[in-house]
């Protein structure tokens, strides 16, 4: 069935003429119609626009064009601006907002010939780990619909796992690509900060946010990153460095590669099957020629509090613009009940933002306030420096790290909604990388009771080619990534 193809397999068929982009897109739109009432991965599907783009891709191919993703149907997380398609960040505050421009990553995908199927569900403003914070509905995990798909890019991960697109884009502020990739059994890559443009991403935490690809395997992530990456003058944090040939660098062996195994990422609080699967994967890497290096990253335990202070402070600043006057919806009853503009804004935010967004705004505002800035925000930034130093020292001894993506497999919907500490602790293995600003990819390395287990390959700054190669070599030596959920 065409909707089950990987991106690289679909490209082969599109090139040899045995499949058209129109046929492929129709197959995926039918798959969405058949399954998404159950999975709920999409907030909106642009079927007519997708078919027009597919026909245009077929025309371009017939004229001899060889754009890298010509005719490939993809999905986009709903925090990424799309010209002519509603972008809400899964928040009622932005309901009805249709951007007049494309984010740079979207423009690059379109230039490469990609077909945009629609926008996927997310935790509101990308704040969450389960997609339960969406203002519209909770996305379900394709492997077990009673469980969460992870977050905040849960809609994108679920759509890829359920064969409702060939690949998708997500964003990763503290693990929001890698964690749902692990829960849904797909590949998800968080690039180095500055490798991919943030222009057109609705900001959560500006020093942490980064867009990245989700695919059915590592090769697909390499192909997507190739198109997304590169300098963008519209983004002041974009880094002007050459983009390597990620696809061409993929090799099936790891001879001479040093892989670090930090002890702080294993042990207490971890589901035994998760640790066992990752340690088995390490032995596979050894058999492929890699050298395993035991090491310590002592500041790992401080990543969680540092992240939530820094990210919440930046969220408070970024979301201050949503006042119902300059940005976002204004509720009529807020105006009727309010005595002045300040009260109007307060009531509008009260109705527009969900509980998790309010929680982080309040935490961030508190830590930035007079008398608390030095005690919390400044100290968190100092801890961030120590965490980055941990990563720098680790990468001075090895080429990549391999660690679990999450301490457990996907939890049940509703299980952690009222226990925010447990919810936040689920990101303990992903947060540090965002604070350090480097790159990582999560891939499937096993199952526990039918649920996927993810492992991360972490790399130094702008070492995406290295982590893709390590992940690819492991993937080629195993068959986990070939398994798909039954829907």
Which of 77, 110, 216, 347 is labelled catalytic? 77
pLDDT of residue 20: 98
pLDDT of residue 1: 87
Span 213-231, pLDDT tens digits: 999 999 999 999 999 999 9
Residue 176 annotated in active site: yes
pTM of the predicted protein model: 0.96
Confidence of residue 336 (pLDDT cuts 50, 70, 90): low
Residue with tokens 């490798």: 195
Q: How many residues does the chain have?
A: 487
Residue 40 annotated in active site: no
Q: How large a percentage of the chain has pLDDT more than 70?
A: 98
Q: 409 near 384, Cβ under 8 Å?
A: no
Which of 20, 91, 130, 152 is labelled catalytic? 152
Confidence of residue 329 (pLDDT cuts 50, 70, 90): confident
Which of 176, 312, 316, 442 is labelled catalytic? 176
Least confidently predicted of 109-113, 255-259, 263-267: 263-267
Q: 415 near 161, Cβ under 8 Å?
A: no
Give rounded-to-5 percent helix, strand, coil for the chain: 45, 15, 40
Confidence of residue 335 (pLDDT cuts 50, 70, 90): low
Mean pLDDT of 264-286: 95
Task: With a cut of 90, say whether residue 59 has pLDDT above it.
Answer: yes
pLDDT of residue 332: 64
Distance (Å, whole) CA 250 – CA 255:
13
> For strand 211-215 and strand 167-171, is the pairing parallel, antiparallel, or unpaired?
antiparallel
Confidence of residue 338 (pLDDT cuts 50, 70, 90): low
Q: CA separation (Å) from 269 to 100, 425, 452?
A: 47, 10, 18
Mean pLDDT of 282-311: 97
Contacts of 233 (CB under 8 A, 6+ apart): none
Q: Tokens in use for 43?
A: 């907030």
pLDDT of residue 343: 77
Q: Which domains, ranges and CATH numbers included, belong to the chain?
A: 2-253 (3.90.1300.10)
Residue 77 annotated in active site: yes
Task: With a cut of 90, say whether residue 420 has pLDDT above it.
Answer: no
Confidence of residue 324 (pLDDT cuts 50, 70, 90): confident
Span 10-43, pLDDT tens digits: 999 999 999 999 999 999 999 999 999 999 999 9
Q: 61 near 112, Cβ under 8 Å?
A: no
Q: Which of 328, 425, 325, 432 is nearest to 388 (CA)?
A: 432
């Amino acid at each position: 069935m065409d909707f089950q193809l990987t991106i690289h397999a679909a490209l082969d068929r599109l090139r040899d003429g045995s499949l058209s982009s129109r046929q492929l897109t129709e197959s995926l739109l039918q798959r969405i119609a058949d399954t998404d009432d159950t999975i709920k991965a999409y907030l909106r599907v642009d079927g007519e626009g997708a078919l027009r783009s597919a026909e245009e891709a077929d025309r371009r191919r017939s004229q001899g064009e060889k754009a890298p993703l010509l005719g490939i149907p993809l999905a986009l997380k709903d925090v990424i601006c799309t010209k002519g398609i509603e972008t809400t960040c899964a928040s009622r505050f932005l309901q009805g907002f249709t951007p007049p421009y494309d984010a740079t990553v979207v423009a690059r995908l379109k230039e490469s010939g990609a077909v945009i199927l629609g926008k996927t569900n997310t935790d509101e403003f990308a704040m969450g780990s389960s997609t339960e914070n969406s203002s519209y509905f909770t996305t379900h995990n394709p492997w077990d619909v009673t469980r969460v798909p992870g977050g905040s890019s849960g809609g994108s991960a679920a759509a890829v796992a359920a064969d409702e697109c060939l690949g998708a884009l997500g964003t990763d502020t503290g693990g929001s690509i890698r964690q749902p990739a692990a829960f849904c059994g797909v590949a998800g890559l968080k690039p180095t900060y500055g490798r991919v443009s943030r222009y057109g991403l609705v900001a959560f935490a500006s020093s942490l946010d980064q867009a990245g690809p989700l695919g059915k395997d590592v090769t697909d992530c390499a192909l997507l990153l190739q198109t997304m990456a590169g300098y963008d003058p519209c983004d002041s944090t974009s880094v002007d460095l050459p983009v390597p040939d990620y696809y061409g660098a993929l090799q099936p062996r790891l001879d001479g590669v040093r892989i670090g195994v930090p002890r702080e990422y294993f042990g207490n609080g971890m589901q035994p099957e998760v640790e066992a699967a990752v340690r088995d994967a390490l032995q596979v890497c050894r058999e492929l020629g890699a050298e395993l290096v035991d090491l310590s990253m002592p500041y790992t335990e401080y990543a969680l509090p540092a992240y939530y202070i820094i990210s919440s402070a930046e969220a408070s600043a970024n979301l201050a613009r949503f006042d119902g006057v300059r940005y976002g919806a204004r509720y009529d009853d807020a105006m009727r009940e309010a005595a002045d503009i300040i009260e109007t804004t307060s009531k509008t935010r009260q109705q527009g933002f969900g509980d998790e967004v309010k929680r982080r705004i309040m935490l961030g505002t508190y830590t930035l306030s007079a008398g608390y800035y030095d005690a919390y925000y400044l100290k968190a930034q100092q801890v961030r420096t120590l965490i980055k130093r941990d990563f720098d020292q680790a990468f001075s001894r090895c080429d990549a790290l391999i660690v679990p993506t999450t301490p457990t497999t996907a939890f049940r919907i509703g299980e952690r909604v009222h226990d925010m500490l447990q919810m936040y602790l689920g990101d303990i293995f992903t947060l540090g990388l965002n604070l350090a600003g480097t790159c990582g990819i999560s891939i499937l390395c096993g199952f526990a009771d039918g649920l996927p287990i993810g492992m991360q390959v972490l790399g130094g700054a702008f070492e995406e080619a290295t982590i893709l190669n390590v992940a690819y070599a492991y993937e080629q030596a195993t068959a986990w990534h070939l398994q798909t959920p039954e829907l």
